[in-house]
Amino acid sequence: MTHDIGQAANSNVPKWVYSFGGGSADGSADDRNLLGGKGANLAEMASIGLPVPPGFTITTEVCGAFYDMGKRLPDGLKEQVKATLDEVGRIVGAEYGSVEKPLLVSVRSGARVSMPGMMDTVLNLGLNDETVEGLAKRSGDRRFAYDSYRRFIQMYASVVLEMEHDLFEDILESYKNLNGFARDTELAADDWAEIISQYKEVVTEHHGAPFPTDVYEQLWGAISAVFLSWHSRRAATYRMLHDIDHSWGTAVNVQAMVFGNMGENSATGVAFTRNPSTGENELYGEFLINAQGEDVVAGIRTPQPLTLEARLSSGDEELPSLEEAMPKAFEEFKEIVTRLETHYRDCQDIEFTIEDGKLWMLQTRSGKRTSGAAIKMAVDMVAEGLINRDEAILRIEPQSLDQLLHPTIDPAAPREVITRGLPASPGAAAGMIVFDADEAEKQAGLGKSVLLVRIETSPEDIHGMHAAKGILTARGGMTSHAAVVARGMGRPCVSGAGAMRIDAAAKTLRIGGLTLNEGDLLTIDGSTGEVLKGEQPMRQAEMTGDFGTLMQWADDVRRLRVRANAETGRETELALKFGAEGIGLCRTEHMFFETSRITAMREMILARDEEGRRAALSKLLPMQRSDFVELFTLMEGLPVTIRLLDPPLHEFLPHDKEEIEALAALVEMDAEDISQRVEELKEFNPMLGHRGCRLAISYPEITEMQTRAIFEAALEVSAAGGEAVRPEIMVPLIATGAELDHVKAVIDKTAEEVFSERGSQLDYDVGTMIELPRAALQAGDIAERAAFFSFGTNDLTQTTFGISRDDASPILNKYVSVGILRVDPFASLDQSGVGKLVEMAAQSGREVKETLKLGICGEHGGDPNSIDFFERVGLDYVSCSPFRVPVARLAAAQAFIKHSDTNNAADADFVRDV
């Protein structure tokens, strides 16, 4: 049943608490924004009759209220919690705080989108010195009760009291070593009682107060800790990396405990309905006998596979699979898994516990997966009839395609495999070894490729994992923290490489007789689990198979065309391989920086008169022409937009004494004269200085040379029997229609001269970049003279915000962190400001010239959120770097689907969750 979401019954206090269990629930899967993803799915599972331990969800609205009230739980919440907790106890036949029949609960986070491991969890709340005896008597297992108690103290102290986890691990390891125990399961109840006593002492010593024994003090502390973890560094970093709104907050889920650590007939595990690394339609996951859920995901013990087939394929001859150890529970689990995937029509990530043979479902959510797995699942589910093609397109996060567009280890290269682990996240990475997350972030910031090598990762390592090219751990399974987060980030990961011995203090890694130090090079293959010595050669990815199928579906749907920013043959070939439909920005200045050309370019700049400049330009002409011949030939008639020289001239000149002296010798000039010319060309603000069309107006001979090279190359390629070439010449930094008239006259005059000389003609277009606010405001006037507009959103953002992109990082980082801006406007288009100028210019231009072609060639051309905006305002194409072309193709298809059918909005939101 579903109750009204709003006010609590008979109260002016808002309804803060929503219950689930006992065959009914206050909410459903549709209430994710209010109940968080976990709470909404628990309610849904309870409603459809699955075995879910009863509990309740404290809404995301309480998180906002908690912070509004100075990190204090709002009035009325505790009363609602106590009332609902009494009902949970009634369902299970227990009472929270009772000595005879103690109800224990878990407290977990649950944001509206999955953030695995980023926020806090506390298990076994409700235990103290009295209730632990009640638990022992009721369960008939004193060892289990005291094991649960020590786990609770350790977790509560770490999460709520903010004590170091290692303080408790050191006590446990010392006790085991002193008493000759190898595994936790060997300890008896009296051993745990002694360890608990030591745990309490360390709490008093480090916390300054005894461990709380009041069960409600424990509960309020745990609920507050979950809310506080929303703004932890790791959670904030994760939200920033995944573009999750900081204002959403988290829900809190309080649920009756079920115990996987009650003996050999109990277990806990994590499963995916399909393989999250490969996408294969096979049950995938791990479990541990006589353990609690955190043991599986924390990587402290290496878990066992779920199926017999998985155990046999892994070569594990010692520990049984769940299918072998608990066949009855396994069969029930398989039925529920199939039911959940059919119900949600997607791969599910499931947590479960078996308590004394009874199966309980603790969570289901859309499973995190690699990009390759996501594509295979989507394509397979279309074939299975679970979803349609549009839904398949909407289910792939465009940014995640980056995972498939980067190198893998060249199979032809010799491999020196030094150890193996589990293939936790596919792809290959090479880099220098670092042993902690801060160092990984530091070295990556210096431009170095690093591999983060850890015994096991924790949520506190999130920043280092993001900075690293790949992750390698000694412990942990396929569902460990390292594996899940690496797959979500698209980082290759090898986990559970048990032969490694890591000494983080000494910064060494030992594998057998081999010792490696921090800074040494390693390569990991996350697809095979291999760890290789040194840096291996890599091979580029191919867009075939399911990837090719999905991209073809996207191409069949989208309206926006996708071009690439490219100016070399290699970039152009790569762009075509990734599906580019033209070149939207050829930056001609990049062609002048090559060693063989820079000298002639500098001669032109240093010349004191037009004659000298023309002499130098005559050396550059054949070089430019050959560049354009290569581009036109490769593009085979596809559009090529060539931007005339844009940057200020001083960027081409040397600035230090040694380089100036070397240039002086090369061009036979006095070094002092060169220094003087460098000084003359200096500008206080070159971004707004002598650049773009201003150069073309001051030095028309540069424009003549470039346009001559373009037309001669186009005629040459057309005459060679290839596709007809129609060049698009783009004039940068236009602010007035008169500027475009002036430069266009030079272009047209040069065209006439070349056509006359060659006795042949061709069609061409002259357009402009809209990258100044004035140009956007005067777009109607400029459109009368232009065949096309290409929005240069990098400069348009700079000039609209009045901030230099090169100097913006510290300012914008602060603005984003304090909430002035939601995202960096250079990374994703500022739709309400810069976007308004784009929309205005597009509309004004089209009103004057209906055939005006509209495109965008800034960095935003590869950003999915920006592409969604460009679809809405009716641009014809986007242009981005070659590696972003597949991302743009998919994002353009998603934008078209979302805006052509409002019924797909819910499916579009799904993308964020996977």
Annotated active-site positions, please? 481, 857
In single-letter form, the type of residue at position 492 comes to P
Secondary structure element (H or E) that encloses residue 269, with its range? strand 267-272
Residue among 672, 413, 378, 428 nearest 545 (CA)? 378
Distance separating alpha carbons of residues 690 and 695, to the nearest angstrom: 6
Do the beta carbons of residue 439 and residue 566 sit within 8 Å? no
Tokens of 22: 């006992």
Q: State the Cα–Cα distance between residues 369 and 480, nearest whole angstrom.
A: 13
Nearest to 497 by CA among 533, 529, 465: 529
Residue 85 CA, distance from chain mean position? 38
Tokens linked to 153: 């103290």
Strand 853-856 relative to strand 877-880, pairing:
parallel
Pairing mode of beta strands 500-503, 508-511: antiparallel
Token digits for 515? Answer: 């010792």
Give the integer Cα–Cα distance in Å for 247 and 488: 22
What's the alpha-carbon Rg for the chain, to the nearest Å? 32
Show the tokens assigned to 725: 């070439």
B/e letters for 58-96, b = 16+ CB within 10 Å, e = fewer, are: bbbbbbbbbbeeeeebbebbeebbeebbeebbebbebbb
CB-based contacts of 875, cutoff 8 Å, min separation 6: 560, 791, 842, 854, 855, 856
Burial (Cβ within 10 Å: 0-12, 13-18, ≥19) of residue 123: buried
Specify the residue for token string 């907790």.
Answer: 85
Give the count of alpha carbons within 13 A of 864, CB side only: 22
**Alpha helices, DSSP H, located in 818-901:** 834-848, 864-873, 885-900
> What's the DSSP call for residue 126?
T
Length of the chain, in residues: 914
Among the listed residues 854, 812, 601, the one whose alpha carbon sits nearest the alpha carbon of residue 706: 601
DSSP H or E run through 397: none
Q: Write the CB contacts of 313 (distance below 8 Å, at least 6 apart in sequence).
A: none
How far is the C-alpha of 411 from the C-alpha of 124, rounded, in Å?
Answer: 50
Cβ atoms of 684 and 804 within 8 Å: the answer is: no
**Cβ neighbourhood burial of 598 (10 Å; 0-12, 13-18, 19+):** middle
Contacts of 63 (CB under 8 A, 6+ apart): 227, 230, 249, 250, 251, 252
Reading the block at residue 385, the tokens are 């009839």
C-beta separation of 548 from 887 below 8 A = no
Residue from 768, 786, 818, 506 nearest 644 by CA: 768
As a whole number of angstroms, the distance between CA 726 and CA 636 comes to 11
Element (H, E) at 882: none
Written in H, E and C, the secondary structure of 454-505 is ECCCCHHHHHHHHHCCEEEECCCCCCCHHHHHHHHHCCCEEECCCCEEEECC
Q: Taking the chain, what is the end-to-end CA distance rounded to the nearest angstrom?
A: 28
Q: Quick one: CA dihedral 399, 401, 405, 408, positive or negative?
A: positive
